[in-house]
Structure 1
Amino acid sequence: MSYDSTAVSGERAGPAGESIDDDWCRNHFDHLSQELVDNLYPALTRMRSLCPVTRSNQYGGYWVVTKYDDVLRVAQEWETFSSAFGLTVPPSPIATRNLPVEIDPPLQREFKRLINAYFTPKAVRPWEPRTRALVNRLIDGFVERGECDLMAEFARPYPALSFFDVAIGAPADQIERVAYLASKSGAPKDPDAAACWRGLSEWINGFLEQRRCEPPRGDVVDAILSAEIQGRPITHEEIIGTVQLLILGGLETTAGALGQIMLRFCRQPEIPAALRENPDLLPQAVEELLRLDGPFVQITRTAMHDTEIDGHQIKQGEKVIIYWASANRDEGEFPASDEFDLDRKINRHMAFGVGPHRCVGSNLARMNLRIALDELLRRLHDLRLRDGAEIHFHPTVNRAPVTVPVTFTPGPRVGADG
C-alpha cells in the first residue's frame, strides 16, 4: 500500500529553485537559506546525485554529506567526528552546552544513562491517558468551528503542554511563555533568538530553584538535580545544560512533525482514509511519516583528525553537516523513497538520529504522535488546506511549517476524556 508523495511536504515540484544550480550545490550550499527551505527535498535529491559529499564556502566553510551510508558512518564514528566542538554553523546564541548532545563518550554515556530511564517505553506508557485527554481538550478548542490553524492551535501547544506538565511538572501558568522562548531561541536567523535564549535560561534557573525547595517527586528533574557524574556531584552548569536539552529537543521537533504530517494528510487524503479503515496500522504509519517528514533535518560534527569521506579529504577541525532528511530519502536505502508506503518491510530511518546521540526522547515523541494522530483522524473529517493557503517553513535545523490553516467538517466537543 503506497502513495506517491511528490511535492506534498511544502517543497516545490520539479527541479529546485532557479538559484539552486549545480555551482550552488557544489560550492555555495547554504543550509540556512530560504531557497533551500523552499526546495528542500528536490535540492537534497540533486545533491545526492551530483555531489553527495561537497565543501561549501558559506559561513567560513563546511562539508555537506547527504548519502545514507555516509551519514550513518559520520554519526556513528564519534571518535573521528565529534559533537563536542560546536553543533551549529554559524555558532548558536545559546551559551550553555546542551547535554549530552554536545559532549562525546564516555562522559556522554553517563548523562544519557541519567535521563534514559525516564523515557523508556515502560516509563512513558502511564502518561498515555493524560496525553489523550490533553489532545482532546485541544481539539475541543476548535472542532466546532470547522477551521483552525493546526500549528498555532494544536501542533505547537501540544508537545509543550505535554512535556512541561507530564514530564517535568512545570507550573501550568508558565507553559505558554516558556514554549515560545524555547522555539525562538533555537532559530539561528531569528533576530530575537539571543533575547529568547536569555529568557529561557532565566526560566530554567528559576524552575530548578523552585524544585530544589519542593519535596522530591521521583521524576527526571529530581534525578538530574541529585546526580553524580564520574563520581562527583553534577555541576550547576551541567544541570542547566541537561534540562535545556530536554526542553529544546522535544518541542519544536514534535510540532514540526505534526505540522508536516497534517499537510501530507491534506494533500494526500487517501492516507488518512486508509488509516481510519485500518487504525492498527497507525504505529507503522508513524514510522513511515517520520522517514518522509522528519523534523530534524541535519546536524553538525567536527573532524578530530584528518580523515576522508567517499574519497574527499577532510582536515582536522573542519565542520561536517550530515543530512538526516536526505539519508531518509536515499534511493539506495529506501526503494521508491519519495512514496508513503505502509508495506515497507525495512525502515531504518534516521528521524531520531543514529549512533551514541540518538534522541533520548524518541519513545515519548512516538507516543505523542501516535495519540495525536489517532484522535485527529477520529475527530477531523474532510480535512483540507484553507483555500489560498501558502505554506512556509522557517530556515532552521528543524523543519516546521509556520502555519497550517485547515478546514474540516465541524464536530462536537467531547470533553477531556474523549
Structure 2
Amino acid sequence: MEKPTPPLAVPSEAASETTAMPDEWCARHFDHLSPDLAATMPATMARMRELHPVARSEEHGGFWVVSGYDEALAVAQDWAAFSSAQGLNIPRAQLVVRNLPVEADPPEQRVYKRLINPYFTPAAVEPWAEATRALADRLIDSFIESGSCEFMNEFARPFPSLAFFQLAINAPEEDLEKVAYMASKSSTPDDPESRECWQGLFAWIRDFTRARKDAPPRGDVVDAVVRAEIDGRPITEQEIIGTVQLLVLGGLETTAGALGLMLDRFCADPSIPALLRERPELIPSASLELLRLDPSFVAVARTATRDVEVGGCPMKAGDRVLIHWASANRDVREFPDADSFDPARERNRHLSFGAGPHRCAGSNLARMNLRVALEQILTRMHDIRLADGAKVKYHRGLTRSPDTLPITFTPGPRLTPAS
C-alpha cells in the first residue's frame, strides 16, 4: 500500500505564535534594532503592511520604513532617487571603509561589481558543491552520535564560514572564528562592540589582502580584487578592503542566519522536513521558499536624493528610508497564501537577496550552500526538535538569526572514524 503524499503547502505557525507590537509603535516608533521586533517579526510586519505599507518612524532621528512588496521593489530599483552611497544602516554604522559595491551607486557601483561577479556565477560555484558537502558531513560527524547539538555554533556558523574561507577566498582557517565574531557584531550598529569589531575586521582584511597581493596568484576573487585596475589606475587599498569586507560580511553572517532560521522552522513544524525527506527533489525550490518565509537579510537603508513619493507618502531629499525585505516577502499582493510554506509556489520573486543593481552578488553561492546543507541534514538527522525548555532569541538589526538553537535528534553514525 502506497503512503499518502504529504501536502506541499504547509501553513506557517510563526505568525500566529507571537503578538504584534502595538499599533502606535508601528505607526510612529518602528525600530528595526528592537529585540521586541526580532521576537515578533512575522506578526508585527503583518500589522505594518495592513496599517502602514509606508510609515514614518520617529526613532533614530526619523526615517521611513517600507514594508509592502511593490513599494519595497520600487525603492530598491530606483537607485537614482534612493542612494546607497550614504550607508546601509540606520543609524549610520561607524565604518572604517565603505562596503563596495553596495555603498556606491551606478555607474561607480558597476565597476566594483564587475570585479566580483564572474567568481559567483552558477558555473563558478557549482564545482565547489562536493567539497562543500564534505564540509557539511565533517561538521555533522562531530555531533551526530550524541543526538544533540547547539546548531548555530556547531553547524550554522562554521559551515558557510569554512566553505567561504576555503573555497572562495582561500583564507587561513585558524582566523575564521574571530572573523565570524567580528562580522556578526559589526552588523548591529548599536552593539557596544560594533565599532571595535569594524576596526578589527578592517585590520584583518588589510593584513590578509596585503599578504595575498605579495603571494603567488590563486586564481580566486581576492586575486581579481587586489590586482584590479579602476578606470585605468591601480585599485587603492581602501577600495580593496571595502570590496573584500563586503564579501566577508555576506559570506559568513547571512547564510548562517538562513540555516538557523530553517532549522528553527523544522523544529516548529516537523511536517516540512518529513515532506523533504520523502521528496528530496523539492529541496532546491524548498530552500528558496524557506528563504522567502524567513530571510536572514531583513532590511537595508537608502537615502532619498530628491523629493519623491512612495505609496502615497511624500519623502524629502535627504530622508532615510528602510526597505524591509522580510516584510515584503510576506505581502499577499505578491505571494498568495503568503504565510504558508509551499515549495511548488509557481512564482517566487522573493527579495531575500535584495533587488535592483545591489542584488546580492553571492546569491548563487548561498543557494548552493543552503541546498547542500539541507540535503545532508535531512539525510542524516531525523526527528529534529528544539531541546526541552529552550527559548529561541533572535539577533536584531539588518540581519536576523537565532542567537542559539539547541536541538535534539535521533543519534546516528559518523561517516568517518573519529581520530
**What is the TM-score with the length of structure 2 in the denominator?**
0.96
1:334-390 CA distances to partner (integer Å, 9 max, x unpaired)? Answer: 011000012211101001001000000000000000000000000001111101110
- The structure 2 residue matched to 1:13, chosen from 17, 25, 30, is 17
What are the residue-to-residue correspondences of 1:293-372 with 2, within 5 Å?
A: 293-372=294-373
- The structure 1 residue matched to 2:11, chosen from 4, 7, 24, is 4
Q: Please give the alpha-carbon distance, in whole angstroms, between the structure 1 residues aligned to 2:308 and 2:231.
A: 31
1:298-326 CA distances to partner (integer Å, 9 max, x unpaired)? Answer: 11010000011122110000001011001
Q: Following TM superposition, by how much is the alpha carbon of 1:182 offset from its aligned partner in structure 2, in angstroms?
A: 1.6
Quote the RMSD (CA, aligned, Å).
1.2
| Aligned amino acid, residue 407 of structure 1 | T
| Residues 1:259 and 2:260 aligned together | yes
1:247-296 CA distances to partner (integer Å, 9 max, x unpaired)? Answer: 01121100110000001111111111111111111101011001001101
| Aligned amino acid, residue 6 of structure 1 | E
SS in 2 for 1:118: helix
Q: Please give the alpha-carbon distance, in whole angstroms, between the structure 2 residues aligned to 1:342 and 1:74.
A: 28
Q: Please give the alpha-carbon distance, in whole angstroms, between the structure 2 residues aligned to 1:14 and 1:112.
A: 40
Identify the residue that residue 100 of structure 1 maps to in structure 2: 101
**Unaligned segments of structure 2, at least 5 residues:** 1-7
SS in 2 for 1:415: coil
**Unaligned segments of structure 1, at least 5 residues:** none
Q: Please give the alpha-carbon distance, in whole angstroms, between the structure 2 residues aligned to 1:46 and 1:260.
A: 21
Check whether the contact 1:79–1:304 (CA below 8 A) recurs between aligned residues. Answer: yes
Identify the residue that residue 167 of structure 2 maps to in structure 1: 166
Identity %: 58
Runs of 4+ that moved beyond 4 A: none
1:102-153 CA distances to partner (integer Å, 9 max, x unpaired)? Answer: 0000110111111000000000011111111100000001001000010010
**What is the TM-score with the length of structure 1 in the denominator?**
0.96
| Aligned amino acid, residue 303 of structure 1 | A
Q: Please give the alpha-carbon distance, in whole angstroms, between the structure 1 residues aligned to 2:157 and 2:407.
A: 15
Q: Following TM superposition, by how much is the alpha carbon of 1:14 offset from its aligned partner in structure 2, in angstroms?
A: 5.0
Q: Following TM superposition, by how much is the alpha carbon of 1:38 offset from its aligned partner in structure 2, in angstroms?
A: 1.3
Check whether the contact 1:189–1:395 (CA below 8 A) recurs between aligned residues. Answer: no
Identify the residue that residue 190 of structure 1 maps to in structure 2: 191
Q: Please give the alpha-carbon distance, in whole angstroms, between the structure 2 residues aligned to 1:210 and 1:63.
A: 43
Check whether the contact 1:12–1:38 (CA below 8 A) recurs between aligned residues. Answer: no
Check whether the contact 1:254–1:295 (CA below 8 A) recurs between aligned residues. Answer: yes
1:19-51 CA distances to partner (integer Å, 9 max, x unpaired)? Answer: x22221111111111111111111110011111
Q: Following TM superposition, by how much is the alpha carbon of 1:213 offset from its aligned partner in structure 2, in angstroms?
A: 1.9
Identify the residue that residue 71 of structure 1 maps to in structure 2: 72
What are the residue-to-residue correspondences of 1:4-403 with 2, within 5 Å?
A: 4-7=11-14, 13=17, 15-16=19-20, 20-403=21-404
| Aligned amino acid, residue 288 of structure 2 | E
Between Structure 1 and Structure 2, how many residues are aligned?
410
Q: Following TM superposition, by how much is the alpha carbon of 1:12 offset from its aligned partner in structure 2, in angstroms?
A: 6.4
Check whether the contact 1:303–1:317 (CA below 8 A) recurs between aligned residues. Answer: yes
